[in-house]
Amino acid sequence: MPARLIVGEYNVLWEALKHYEQHLLGVAANAADKDAQLDADDRLLKLDSIRTVMQIAAKEDWDLDLR
């Protein structure tokens, strides 16, 4: 059985993901070369997927809307 996060954990993780997203946006915007920009963009795509899965899980576990 997968572990269920509690509401407080969802909120802390959500805020951390939002902060990391801002960091990656800055890295992508100020990348010194194309490879660094592509790496940041790839991480942003993965982060978006993680956030979507987390939103679904929070809704199913606790009827919690993460925004």
pLDDT tens, residue by residue, 4-13: 789 999 999 9
Q: Is residue 67 part of a domain?
A: no
Compute the residue count for the chain. Answer: 67
Total domains in the chain come to 1
pLDDT of residue 17: 97
Q: Is residue 21 part of a domain?
A: yes
25 by DSSP, 3-state: which? helix
Q: Is residue 13 part of a domain?
A: yes
Q: Is residue 2 part of a domain?
A: no
Query: Hunting for tokens 């805020």 — which residue is that?
Result: 15
Q: Is residue 27 part of a domain?
A: yes
pLDDT of residue 9: 93
Q: Is residue 1 part of a domain?
A: no
Q: State the residue range of the domain holding 44.
A: 7-62
